[in-house]
Amino acid sequence: MLKKILITDDHAIIRMGLVRLLQHLLPGTVVLEASSRLATLSVAREEPELDLLLLDLNLPDGQGLRTAEEVLALRPLLPVAIVSSEEDPAVVRRAMALGLVGYIPKSTNAELTENAMRLLLTGGSYWPRAAVVRSACAAQPLLGERQQEVLGAVCRGLSNKQIGAELGLTEATVKAHLTQIFRVLKVNSRSQAIAATLRQPRDAAGD
């Protein structure tokens, strides 16, 4: 099944590079382009079959994560990933807390960018600065040790196959652990699980 992907960036050369990468990774991909917040919201409204949004943070008519929030208000189930020159860990964690599926800094090298895109195209997630993300997703007292390890791997953007290879588990066992993790955290997806683990410390503190 072909993917339909929207790339939003006000720099044409960035859009061109991403289009070429996506069409290389998934031949036949339908790639739409936008260069502003308003154009992005218009496509989100008019393209019900949109599979993924790759969004720059710094648009002429929309700064920061506001555009992502507006898109999710229109399309709560649409996977949204940030591609940005902004690398502040606090911004990355906020993107995670919003339920986005990934964050690719523009400084990321070509090989890692390609791997990140592969994850996003197969329904996975990608987040930079693994150590920061792992610490944010740790210490869930209602999860067993192995489930903690699986959740940590999810936070690092690993697929079920990659998690299995790293932890010495079958994919079926990884899926079983994820089912239990989702049940305990009362969520339905990987991005929601990540967001839930980020919210918990703040909620406990009454923020």
Look at residue 54 in the predicted model and tell me its pLDDT: 97
Q: Assess contact for 125 and 92: CB atoms under 8 A.
A: no
Architecture of the domain spanning 4-128? 3-Layer(aba) Sandwich (3.40)
Location of structure tokens 């218009």: 42
pLDDT above 60: residue 58: yes
Instruction: Read off the pLDDT band of 2 (50, 70, 90).
Output: low
Q: Cα–Cα distance between 8 and 64 in angstroms, integer? A: 13
Domain locations in the chain as residue ranges:
4-128, 131-204
- Which of the residue ranges 4-13, 54-63, 84-93, 178-187 would you say has the lowest mean pLDDT? 84-93
Look at residue 139 in the predicted model and tell me its pLDDT: 60
Rounded to 10°, the helix 37-46/66-74 angle is 20
Q: Where are the beta strands (DSSP E) in the chain?
A: 4-8, 30-34, 52-55, 80-84, 102-105
One-letter amino acid at 193 equals: A
Q: Assess contact for 72 and 98: CB atoms under 8 A.
A: yes
Average pLDDT of span 134-151: 75
Q: Cα–Cα distance between 132 and 150 in angstroms, integer? A: 16
Instruction: Read off the pLDDT band of 128 (50, 70, 90).
Output: confident
Look at residue 167 in the predicted model and tell me its pLDDT: 86
pLDDT above 70: residue 138: no
Instruction: Read off the pLDDT band of 136 (50, 70, 90).
Output: low
More confident residue, 53 or 163: 53
Q: Cα–Cα distance between 7 and 134 in angstroms, integer? A: 28
Radius of gyration of the chain (CA): 17
pTM of the model: 0.69
pLDDT above 50: residue 1: yes
Q: Assess contact for 72 and 78: CB atoms under 8 A.
A: yes
Which option is the CATH number for 131-204: 3.20.20.140, 1.10.10.10, 3.90.940.20, 3.40.640.10?
1.10.10.10
